Structure 1
Amino acid sequence: MLFFSHDGKLGDAVVITAFVAGLRAHAPGCEIHATVAGVTATFWARDARLRTLWSLARRGWGVVLKTGLALRRERFDFIVTWRPMRSEKNRLLLWLARPGRVVDLAEFHRAAPAHRIEACREALRQFGVPCDGELAYDVVKARGAGIGAAPASGDAPDFNSNSANADIVLVNLFAADPERTIDATAGVALLAGLRRVAPEAALRLVCHGATAAAARAVLARSDSGASLLDCEGGLERLFDACARASLVVSPDTALIHLASAFDTPVIGIYQNDGIKAREWGPRSRAHAVVLAPGADSVAGFSVEAVLRHALALRARQPACLAPVPSAQPISPR
């Protein structure tokens, strides 16, 4: 079988690991392939459960035609596309591949919003895999550079990376679009507040090449003693950070799902549109969600709400905290 993962979205790939794990557990002899591009090529290359990765990094018509014909020669029994095929090139790719069956998730997408991991459950159901229990992400953590390795930016680590018990608070402000990106003023307040909440923790601000300058500007204003974790070209460093952190704070990005994959306590900041937090919310046992006042962006979210959740999660509250709009006062449970 083959599934599509050439959208270049790391968060989506993390979610799909629940499907891969379920399928492999039920049918260990199943040959699993994936289409990949960008960061998903790096992500799936580290997963030995997949036999072949079909690169679509360059998606010209000629590449799509050549790849589609190559896929047809494989005679796939199943192809999972995950989303409706709106792109002409994706539709051509699927038509050329001619699988025995396309796993159809149309009913799932027409139903009321549900967490995206439920799409994995529906796909598994169509494969005949019993999955009535709780699904979970299953990210393979390869050996590689950890957060103690020298960052590409030259920013030095501010904690003993060899200590398994290091108290690391990981913060992300940046998303692929401005609607989900936390603005500099809120970022400064968030870092300063987290330093008060966790005065002894190693506070790290995640960035990559394109956001490093903006991240440094926030650090300079926050006076929080935080340092950068530049993950440009270092996916393993990001995975290691999410696995070992005591808390992750981020808007709706792949960090939410990576933290969930390692069951790291996580606070997600979402648009208040009734959909995003439901479909892409955190899955860690200890988690909280803060909703911005508006449906169109995370602007205006309550830093105080995040800090109160951080206090509760760091106190190892056993129960997850329900999503609370930023306009409402929040008390730790």
Structure 2
Amino acid sequence: MNRGKKDWKKKRLFRQALARILQKLVNKPLLSAPHTGALKTIAILAQEKYGDAILLTPLLKSLKKEFPETEIHLFTFNKTIAEFFNTDSNIAVIHNVKGNPISYFKGIFCQKFDVLFNTKDHPSTSFLINSLLIRARYRVGIDNEFHRNLYNYLIDIDYHSPVALKNCGLMTFLGKSVAQELCRPYLPPKPVSEKITQFLETSVLEGAIGINISAGGPTRYWTEQNWEIFINAFPEQKIIVLSSPDDLEAKRKLEHTCSTIIASPPTTNLYEAGLIVEKLLLLVTPDTAMVHIASCFNTPVVGLFGKARQDLSRFKPFLIDYAMVVSPTQSVHDITANNVIDAVKKQLQR
């Protein structure tokens, strides 16, 4: 076992031990009936990655629709997610736990919320502590053995359910139901550069497919060689390359090397990337936030996934036409180019 796995195991054991201690100390009574009282304010603990943030938006949309006068307070745990949501009109206040201590302490000490919701379905040190520190009449979590006795209400949903549906499970506690087809995520609007605006106004995106070469971790990247093989397999197909700023050099290299690629301006935020994805015929991407951006705009996707059941079930493409190409290992780079080519051909035929 390498050092990274050992550290991860130690952290997991610590979180579980902390949860066990808190369970004995807190021992909250469990409610079985939905909430029926006033709902003036609700506190939601937002997870730390872009994909999780995108999959939280269906709940925000549903809450605002059913309870338009309710103030939604979002507690974030890094600057990136605070900035992602700072233009979301469904949210009243953002409290950045690790970035704005004044706002954070006002949130936990100067206000009592009607409901608090922990979006994680597993024990997390920060989320458990904040679930207890933030003052709320009712605390809601997703059912698992380490959440029992810590929350007034536990959402009973299968661990392998799509995360968007898990988040919308909060609505059951509030006496509302949300149909799956209404749980499509969205992207909060962001500024769009003049270059992207001009690019979107051209006709080059008509009939184009997109490839996203970026990913959230080293095991989720596909190799540049495989991308080149894939691109060359579609000599008549217009292709757009999307990437994060960190992979801009690789994007430019592919654009220079492969004649079928249409050069595009770099995107500076996920919203700009989403506006391009919206116009695509199809998106090919590793398992990353771009899968969920495709869901926002109902764009078909071919997703490249490692062999991990929880990723294949919980974070699969949602409410869109899709194909999943699964690696024989935990690493996306072990997927062959031919497997992806075949999957894309089938999607294009459809």
TM-score bracket for the superposition, by shorter chain length: 0.7 to 0.9
Closer/same/farther in 2, CA of residues 236 and 216 from structure 1, 3 Å limit: same
* Cα distance in structure 2, aligned partners of 1:6 and 1:288: 26
Closer/same/farther in 2, CA of residues 21 and 164 from structure 1, 3 Å limit: farther
* Cα distance in structure 2, aligned partners of 1:42 and 1:58: 11
Which of 83, 88, 92 is residue 47 of structure 1 equivalent to? Answer: 88
Contact 1:160 1:166 survives alignment (8 Å): no
Q: Does 2:135 align with 1:98?
A: yes
Q: Does 2:324 align with 1:271?
A: no
Structure 1, residues 206-248: CA drift from partner, whole Å, max 9, x if none?
A: 122211123334444545434355223x333112112122111
Contact 2:47 2:120 survives alignment (8 Å): no
* Cα distance in structure 1, aligned partners of 2:264 and 2:314: 30
Structure 1, residues 291-317: CA drift from partner, whole Å, max 9, x if none?
A: 1111x11122132232233233333x2
* Cα distance in structure 2, aligned partners of 1:162 and 1:113: 41
Which of 152, 156, 172 is residue 212 of structure 2 equivalent to? Answer: 172
* Cα distance in structure 2, aligned partners of 1:113 and 1:216: 38
SS at match of 1:2: strand
Shift in Å, 1:70: 2.8
* Cα distance in structure 2, aligned partners of 1:281 and 1:6: 18
Contact 1:72 1:97 survives alignment (8 Å): yes
Which of 324, 338, 343 is residue 289 of structure 1 equivalent to? Answer: 324
Q: Which residue of 1 aligns with 2:347?
A: 313
Closer/same/farther in 2, CA of residues 101 and 85 from structure 1, 3 Å limit: farther
* Cα distance in structure 2, aligned partners of 1:215 and 1:183: 12
Greater helix share, 1 or 2?
A: 2
Structure 1, residues 11-44: CA drift from partner, whole Å, max 9, x if none?
A: 1111111111222222222211112333322332
Contact 1:248 1:259 survives alignment (8 Å): yes
Alignment of 1:115-126 (within 5 A): 115-126=162-173
Normalised by the size of structure 1, how large is the TM-score?
0.78
Alignment of 1:194-273 (within 5 A): 195-196=234-235, 199-201=236-238, 203-232=239-268, 234-273=269-308
SS at match of 1:74: coil
Of the structure 1 ranges 244-253 and 70-79, higher mean CA displacement relative to structure 2 is found in: 70-79
Closer/same/farther in 2, CA of residues 98 and 143 from structure 1, 3 Å limit: closer
Contact 1:167 1:246 survives alignment (8 Å): yes
Q: Which residue of 2 aligns with 1:326?
A: none
* Cα distance in structure 1, aligned partners of 2:54 and 2:134: 25
Contact 1:85 1:91 survives alignment (8 Å): no
Closer/same/farther in 2, CA of residues 229 and 116 from structure 1, 3 Å limit: farther
Shift in Å, 1:177: 0.7
Q: Give unpaired runs (5+ residues) of structure 1.
A: 318-333
* Cα distance in structure 1, aligned partners of 2:219 and 2:200: 35
Q: Give unpaired runs (5+ residues) of structure 2.
A: 1-41, 145-154
Contact 2:47 2:119 survives alignment (8 Å): no
Contact 1:2 1:78 survives alignment (8 Å): yes
Structure 1, residues 64-87: CA drift from partner, whole Å, max 9, x if none?
A: x87145333221111212115755
Q: Which residue of 1 aligns with 2:336?
A: 302
SS at match of 2:209: strand
Of the structure 1 ranges 208-217 and 9-18, higher mean CA displacement relative to structure 2 is found in: 208-217
Q: Which residue of 2 aligns with 1:150?
A: 195
* Cα distance in structure 2, aligned partners of 1:207 and 1:229: 10
Give the percent of matched residue pairs that are identical in Structure 1 and Structure 2: 17
Q: Which residue of 1 aligns with 2:75?
A: 35
Contact 2:85 2:188 survives alignment (8 Å): no
Contact 2:87 2:190 survives alignment (8 Å): no
Normalised by the size of structure 2, how large is the TM-score?
0.75
Contact 2:187 2:293 survives alignment (8 Å): no
> Alpha carbon RMSD of aligned pairs, Å?
2.9
Shift in Å, 1:10: 1.6
Q: Which residue of 2 aligns with 1:327?
A: none
Contact 1:207 1:229 survives alignment (8 Å): no
Q: Does 2:123 align with 1:83?
A: no
Which of 56, 61, 73 is residue 16 of structure 1 equivalent to? Answer: 56
* Cα distance in structure 1, aligned partners of 2:200 and 2:177: 44
